[in-house]
A and B are shown apart, each in its own frame.
Chain A
């Protein structure tokens, strides 16, 4: 069974940092591109960042470029999102997701349950 479990969310003050983790199992993690997608409470889905199977291709939404960094550890079957200089508008549920392909099909066929990040003073 494919499983993705996010962790690391919480309440943080504006300007501070947070690191999200996504632990995976049940599939060939080192053969899959991965994505981070967020959803502000009561709002729609917003793509955040993507990483190819071997980390040679990294992509970011304009809203987070320069502040967020995506990475992965294939030996640990884990995905990460380092979030710096956090802003109130970054408040959202953050989902990690598995792409269908090792590079990108832009189709997330498995999702975690999400972790809530709240940026507030």
Chain B
């Protein structure tokens, strides 16, 4: 089961914005609005940041936003802060064949 494709790394200075892409296919990201994003600092469990493409759970800062166009979803972190430095993973419903699929992960560095 192939993973969704994310860039290995992204970076920005404090206060800047960074956008991470998550590319799937018409069978997963392109077909379902069930895209989620997770933040995972080193040595910790993942944390849900975005669900259903663009919704934020309670407690997640509005600096985090999600969107989708065709087979590609995106996570934008605005006003980067040092605590945003972490690995970020997207995920999506994969249809009847794959059910649930994660992205390859992106390491975000705050310069």
Contact = CB atoms under 8 A, between A and B. Distances in A.
A109 B45 contact: no
Interface residues of B, number: 25
The bracket for how many chain A residues form the interface is 20 to 34
A113 B46 CA distance: 9
Interface in A72-121: 95, 100, 104-109, 111-114
Residue from A95, A106, A112 having most chain B Cβ neighbours under 10 A: A106
B74 interface: no
A44 B102 contact: yes
Contacts of B101: 47
Interface in B37-92: 38, 40, 45-48, 51-52, 57, 89, 91-92
Given A45-B105, A61-B1, A100-B51, A106 B45 contact: no
Interface of A: 35, 37, 44-47, 50, 59, 61-63, 95, 100, 104-109, 111-114
Interface of B: 1, 3, 32, 34, 36, 38, 40, 45-48, 51-52, 57, 89, 91-93, 99-105
5 contacts: A44-B104, A45-B40, A61-B99, A104-B34, A108-B36
